[in-house]
Amino acid sequence: SQQGEEDPQALSIQEGENATMNCSYKTSINNLQWYRQNSGRGLVHLILIRSNEREKHSGRLRVTLDTSKKSSSLLITASRAADTASYFCATAPANAGGTSYGKLTFGQGTILTVHP
């Protein structure tokens, strides 16, 4: 099954605008994380939200989680050209006890381009 599907697949905005990316998933999760990947580089962890949380902030990042809809959104406010990258959501599945096995399941990603 497809887990962690993001939309849009690509997003192009001007510097200073806000960027919103969405992610949907199918199975029960322990937490959901957002990662960033610059072209040809590794994944950098941005923010984690637990299944019992609804919203979390970190600097210019705001993440929401709706477990009833199995969806999450990442908002980047006041975007900068340096935010240009691919953004992935990743889910850590919950086992029967509600803890995570550790394995992350990534979505397809959203390619964000911020024009100066």
Partner 1 sequence: EPEVTQTPSHQVTQMGQEVILRCVPISNHLYFYWYRQILGQKVEFLVSFYNNEISEKSEIFDDQFSVERPDGSNFTLKIRSTKLEDSAMYFCASSYRLAGAVKNIQYFGAGTRLSVL
Q: Does 34 bind partner 1 (CB under 8 A)?
A: no
- Closest contact distance (angstroms) between CB of 68 and partner 1 is 22
Q: Rule CB under 8 A: choose which of 25, 34, 35, 87 binds partner 1.
A: 35
Can you tell me which of 13, 60, 75, 106 binds partner 1, judged by CB under 8 A?
106
Q: How crowded is the C-beta side of 1, counted as CA atoms within 13 Å?
A: 7
- Residue among 11 and 88 whose Cβ is closer to partner 1: 88
- Phi and psi at 109, nearest 5°, equal 95, 155
The answer to the question of residue 57 lying near partner 1 (CB under 8 A) is no
Amino acid at site 52: N
CB of 105 closer than 8 Å to CB of 91: yes
Of these, 33, 39, 58, 84, which contacts partner 1 (CB under 8 A)? 33
Nearest CA-CA partner of 33 in 93, 101, 80, 89: 89
Query: Contact between 91 and partner 1 (CB under 8 A)?
Result: no
Answer whether 85's CB lies under 8 Å from 37's CB. yes
| Residues found near partner 1 in the complex (CB under 8 A) | 4, 30-31, 33, 35, 41-45, 48, 88, 90, 92, 99-109
